[in-house]
Amino acid sequence: MSVAEIQAGDRVRLLGLPDWLVHDLPQDEQTELRAFVGQITEVTDIDAYGYFWLGFGGTVDLEDQARYSGHSFCVPREFLERAID
What was the pLDDT predicted at 65? 84
Kindly report the number of other CB atoms within 10 A of residue 49's CB atom: 7
What was the pLDDT predicted at 23? 95
What distance in Å separates the CA atoms of residue 23 and residue 11, rounded to the nearest whole number? 26
- The domain ranges of the chain are 11-82
Q: What is the pLDDT along the chain (85 residues), one digit of tens a residue?
A: 445 699 999 999 999 999 999 999 999 999 999 999 999 999 999 999 999 999 998 777 878 887 777 889 999 999 999 998 6
Instruction: Map the chain to HEC letters.
Output: CCCCCCCCCCEEEECCCCHHHHCCCCHHHHHHHHCCCCCEEEEEEECCCCCEEEEEEEEEEECCEEEEEEEEEEECHHHEEECCC
